[in-house]
Amino acid sequence: MKSFSHIFISVFALLSSTNADFPGIDREDMIEEMEHYLVDSSGTNSVPIVNAVTPCSNYVGFASDPKDRGEQTSAEWVRFAFHDFVTADVAAGTGGLDASLGFESERPENAGLFVNDTLEFLAPTVSAYISMADQIALAVLLAVTECGGNANGIPLKVGRIDALAAGPSGVPTPFTSLEDSLARFSEAGFNNTQTIGLVACGHSLGSVHAVNFPDIGGVSFDSTPAALDSTGMDEYLTGTGKAGGPLVTSFNVSARSDLRLFSSDGNVTIRNVAQNPGQVCSGLFEQMLNTVPSTVTLSDAITPLAWKVVDFQMHLSSNGSVSIEGLIRALWTGAAPPNQISYDIISSSGSTSTQLSDAASGSGSGLFGSTTYYHFLLDTYSPGTTSMTVENYTYTINDEIFILASESTVSSDTIEIKAAILTSSIAGGTMAGTLYVPEPQEGTLSPKITLVNVPMSFVGTNGAYTLYDGKVSVSNVTGVIAKVAVGDIGSKTVKTTLFAGGV
């Protein structure tokens, strides 16, 4: 049996500042959020999505009897991506991975719990930074990795836009003819060889569930349903073990869709995939995840950052001086980093001031190594501070206009923003606030992002800055992102988790 292997990486993401999903959200913010979800799996500052597929046989969802049903979250995530993407029409530039499947869960072709299990688990972490469709791509990568696959083999990108309605039907079922199945995959951009490979790779995980397909029977595809490997292909070719699973051996001949597909080229493709499942399956999964509407432009591939500034915020004291605060995350796989680290503050004149962080105060771990966190709190040259650097990592600072996160608040249904702008930059303009609020939508468990305007009122002045305040009621206070602007001058976006009472 040939299996995949983990490869760990620690280099910079390539950032772009164009083609954001929502007005005011930079592509860089989306990339950094996905990098966070990818790297920070446990401990300080973590988003433990990977726990749902650790171990690979784990199940998180609606089923009250998952063991009897053979439910497996890793298989559900791969199946979700497969069903979501396969109705694409690449020639027309429509469909693909866009989370439209959430509106399609009642269709017979999508029978089972996998659609709503997946959406229910991922919905709480959807925001203006990261769409449900982007999280589906992440989920497949995590499932592949935890089931023995190669995390480095599927370059992860962001920029997918969630659909707001159902897409076309047409997902092939076990009863679909070979000709119709190949035609559907062809429209989605897969030739016959790629189609055979993708189905074989996907069916390395999980089972056919008798409760969903009583006329087929319920049994796993191979002897290792919780491992992404070549076992199912080998057993199909040799007639041993599960012999390819129920879609090869079912008592219902019309349901033998895998047999029809695999044997359509004399088993040439299935033999080739079985010889090199790691490279072949990773490439096919990548193609599936990157099939998107022609109106969508994906980012460059994301890779973990060795150094990163997180939870950054700016303060304005009573005497008008500005200070910056946050955490510096170090990602390491070898020797542990030192107890303290140095970083540089850069001014608009080009002068540099080297500073020392507080002692290490948090730690975590994930697929790509261990993390250590260093707190910093520093009075700056502001106005006029442009960036801070840690080794070859640079974090830009906008001290022209910024949200005062520690003075802003979140209550059960209200968010209040306090913000500052250089008085010299107002030029007769008026500050406006925007909240990007994840809200429920009819027909799917996936939330949509609603932009809520926050009227901002003049409060007074403090040193070189003019202060504003605004408050608004919202339907949901979880996962909200805030931004303020005066004309074309906009602040950095801020997660309201940094606000007092933020969640």
DSSP secondary structure letters along 120-143: HHHGGG--SSS-HHHHHHHHHHHH
Closest CA to 193 of 272, 131, 117: 272
Residue 103 backbone phi and psi in degrees, to 5: -85, 0
Contact 371, 308 (CB under 8 A): no
> What is the pLDDT averaged over residues 240-257?
93
pLDDT band at 19 (very low <50, low <70, confident <90, very high): very low
Residue 277 backbone phi and psi in degrees, to 5: -65, -35
pLDDT at 215 over 80: no
Query: Which domains are delineated in the chain?
Result: 27-289 (1.10.520.10), 307-398 (2.60.40), 402-498 (2.60.40.10)
At 444, the amino acid letter reads: T
pLDDT at 406 over 80: yes
Is the model more confident about 214 or about 354? 354
Per-residue pLDDT tens over the stretch 53-63: 999 999 998 87
Residue 333 vs residues 8, 253, 329, 361, 374: alpha-carbon distances, Å: 9, 51, 13, 18, 17
Task: Calculate the average pLDDT of the chain.
Answer: 91
Rounded CA-CA distance 299/313 in Å is: 26
The rounded percent of the chain whose pLDDT value lies above 90 is 83
pLDDT band at 155 (very low <50, low <70, confident <90, very high): very high
- pLDDT value of residue 24: 93
pLDDT band at 12 (very low <50, low <70, confident <90, very high): very low
pLDDT at 210 over 80: no
> What is the pLDDT averaged over residues 283-287?
97
> What is the pLDDT averaged over residues 480-486?
98
- pLDDT value of residue 200: 96
pTM of the shown model: 0.92
> What is the pLDDT averaged over residues 426-455?
96
pLDDT band at 197 (very low <50, low <70, confident <90, very high): very high
- pLDDT value of residue 340: 95
pLDDT at 15 over 80: no
pLDDT at 81 over 50: yes
- pLDDT value of residue 467: 98
Rounded CA-CA distance 31/283 in Å is: 21
Rounded CA-CA distance 366/184 in Å is: 38
